[in-house]
Amino acid sequence: MTRAHVLAVAQREFATVFRTRLLVVLSVGFVGLIAGVAWLGASPAYLALSFDLLTPLEALVPVLAFAFGYRALLGDRERGELARLRTYPLDHRLYVLGVYLGRAVGLLGVVLVGLSTAALVVPLTGTESLTAVAIYGTVDSPALFLRFLILTAVFALVALALALLVSAAVRSTWNGLALATGAVLALVVGLDGALVGTVTATLPAPDVTATLLALSPTSAYRSLAFALVFAPGGVTVSGGSTAVIGALALGSWFVGSLALTGVLVRR
């Protein structure tokens, strides 16, 4: 499969995303929810806005990413397209890459529009950074929110890679929906809960606890947000080494998920 074929697959997936009514509705709902949280919070600064959005995004981004990705490969399997592809000398890894790229462009567009819309709340309130410094005793800058936006986009890409893995692993729509639901719950709550249970049972040193809690994708996203967005803004953050662990964790989840997806598609 050449570069042209990869782009053709990506274009097909991108078009499929915005021909799917449910995904369009979910995308509009995501943008509306993020904008609503920002407006109701009426944050006087970009740093405070990032604080307000962090927890909702930890739940909403995986839901949106799995909605975009859980049927991507499953749909091709059900229509017999995967079986047909095996009869051609096509690289299955590049096929997965094309599917991922097409879905990722659509997902990133929705996430970026949502966060960019939320960012408009700060200048519209007319209070901005001077009030933030007076209230919170911290510095504020649009650059901090830009970092937060980039981190959220990376988190969305990792969640989408996990969604494709689920899509490659299942053989029916109902199984896909059940596994996708379980994966989202694990991503948002379960992995953190399991790690907390491990920590509680073993009672390791605080540094080890912080490291363990930075291993799940959601915790890695959170730790990077605190290290790269909130700490530079003047917020006291402990356990700075968790930022490195978080970056490695997100990278491992991303690469591992796509690699395993390629293996499953080949089977």
Locus of tokens 């944050």: 43
Q: What are 40's two structure tokens?
A: 């109701």
Spatial separation of the C-alpha atoms in residues 43 and 127, rounded to whole Å: 9
Predicted pLDDT at 178: 80
Spatial separation of the C-alpha atoms in residues 106 and 69, rounded to whole Å: 11
DSSP secondary structure code for residue 136 in this structure = H
Predicted pLDDT at 68: 95
Q: What are 8's two structure tokens?
A: 């053709």
Q: What is the DSSP string of 236-247?
A: --S-TTHHHHHH
Q: What are 72's two structure tokens?
A: 């991507």
DSSP secondary structure code for residue 227 in this structure = I
Spatial separation of the C-alpha atoms in residues 166 and 257, rounded to whole Å: 9
Q: The whole model's pTM is what?
A: 0.86
Spatial separation of the C-alpha atoms in residues 193 and 80, rounded to whole Å: 39
- Residue type at position 29: G
Q: 35: number of CA atoms within 13 Å, CB side?
A: 14
Q: What are 59's two structure tokens?
A: 């739940």
For 13, 101, 103, the CA distances from 95, given in Å and listed in that order, are 11, 10, 13
Residues 265 and 95: beta-carbon distance below 8 Å = yes
CA 175 to chain centre: 22
Spatial separation of the C-alpha atoms in residues 212 and 58, rounded to whole Å: 18
Q: At what angle do helices 191-202 and 217-225 cross, to 10 degrees?
A: 80
Residues 250 and 158: beta-carbon distance below 8 Å = yes
Residues 188 and 59: beta-carbon distance below 8 Å = yes
Query: What are the mean pLDDT values of the chain's consecutive 10-residue runs (267 residues total)?
Result: 80 92 95 92 81 93 94 81 69 88 96 95 66 52 91 97 91 74 74 52 52 76 89 55 83 95 84
For 62, 191, 214, 242, 257, the CA distances from 195, given in Å and listed in that order, are 19, 6, 9, 15, 20
Q: What is the DSSP string of 47-67?
A: HHHHHHHHHHHHHHHHHHHHH
